[in-house]
Amino acid sequence: MDAAYAQEIAELGIKMAYLDCGFAAELAIGPIAAVAMTEPSTSTATETPFWRFSLHFYRQAEVSDACIALQDECGVDVNLLLFLFWLAAGGRRLSAADVKRLDETVRGWRDLTIAPIREARRKLKGASTLVQPQKQEAFRTKIKAIELEAERLQQEALYGLTRSGPLGGQAAPGAAARANVAAYERILKASFPKQTVNILLGAFDAVEYSGFAAQ
């Protein structure tokens, strides 16, 4: 996502400095981070440690491209993947059964909202229809804002799952991250490209966990 795209979302009044997905958001996971490019992260009443972790982690070099590759090639839900990394930052290691339950929990929302909204946004980009190009693009911008809100609500709901107690078992953050990714890979019955996973794990290992762990 370029600066112009980020500004479009900012002008819609969406104040959510939350993930900086760069140009990659336009290609894949959508406008879940537009404002992060144009506004500094500030504490709000709805900000959570998961939110802050996502913002920080997604800004790391090559992370957005790696997430998109896993989404498009392996069917990964990027918000769920980020959630697994955030849990790992707090020393929580999940089993494949744990990850499967999480995936089943978010699937309804994802399939009803995020996935079809994303598909509509992608298909409208540069499409030839009876609607004037300028009006079509203005409509697509509104879709970006709706997609942004759907992504925000999913992250908020995922965070809410931790309020009743910790998920999974205890482990060192690095070991937990690797275990959580491997568990997700198993439940998707996919083979994540090793280089892509290494990019994410390398970025994770560089994160300072103390400011993002579950509270």
The pLDDT of residue 92 is above 90: yes
The answer, yes or no, to whether residue 38 has pLDDT greater than 60, is no
For 177-204, letters b (16+ CB in 10 Å) and e give bbbbbebbbebbeeebeeebbebbbebb
Instruction: Characterise 61 by phi-psi region: left (phi > 0), alpha (psi -120 to 50), beta (else).
Output: beta
> Looking at residues 60-69, what average pLDDT do you find?
94
The pLDDT score that the predictor gives to residue 11 is 42
pTM, rounded to two decimals: 0.79
Task: Name the pLDDT band for 27 (thresholds 50, 70, 90).
Answer: very low
Delimit the domains of the chain by residue range: 3-208
| pLDDT tens-digit map of 182-203 | 999 999 999 999 999 999 999 9
Mean of per-residue pLDDT scores for the chain: 82
Q: Is 211 exposed, middle or buried (0-12, 13-18, 19+ CB in 10 A)?
A: exposed
pLDDT digits (tens, 9 = 90+) for 152-179: 899 999 999 999 888 999 999 999 999 9
